[in-house]
Structure 1
Amino acid sequence: MMTDDLQTLLTETLAQEQPLDLLQVTQEGSHIHIVVVSTLFTGMTRVKKQQTVYQPLLAHFAEKQIHALTIHAFTPQEWQRRRLLA
């Protein structure tokens, strides 16, 4: 699966609940890296945030279109704090 396809899928799925402030999907070989920032994640644990992003991708894992995935999901406040510390 191509990064553009993943970006479209995640945007359509996650943005149904809350608009996304940022969605970056990059690929290195068979490994996908996702950074997503949204108020959708407010009040969620880190695991719940990752599960929310992972859920729409389950079928692609089953079909072996995605081999490995790294998810970084933040609220806008967490993202701003992270960027200030970087």
Structure 2
Amino acid sequence: METDVVKALIEQGLPGAGVEVTGDGRHFEATVISDQFEGKSLLQRHRMVNATVEKQISSDELHALSIKAYTQQQAEEK
């Protein structure tokens, strides 16, 4: 699986999100910035992102996804 495919899946599942993905074809790291995360716990944010690639994780096409999930405000503060 290519990084651009993972990026597109996350963007489709979280419209309006800013997404950056790096990886080696099976292990990926995603940084996702979305105001949809406002008021959500870290666990809830990770579940939202994981839901966008659930099918690929279930089929082991995507083996591991490390997630950094921020609101726009949090991203600007970093």
Q: TM-score, normalised by structure 1?
A: 0.83
Number of residues paired by the alignment?
78
In 2, the alpha carbon distance for the partners of 1:7 and 1:31 equals 13
Deviations 1:8-43 (A, max 9, x none): 11111110xxx22x2101103521000010111000
Give the superposition deviation at 1:76: 0.8
Q: TM-score, normalised by structure 2?
A: 0.91
Asked if 1:24 is matched to 2:20, the reply is yes
Asked if 1:66 is matched to 2:24, the reply is no
List gaps (5 residues or longer) in structure 1: none
Give the superposition deviation at 1:69: 1.1
In 1, the alpha carbon distance for the partners of 2:8 and 2:39 equals 25
Asked if 1:45 is matched to 2:45, the reply is no
Quote the sequence identity (%). 27
Higher-Rg structure is 1
Stretches of 4+ aligned residues off by more than 4 angstroms: none
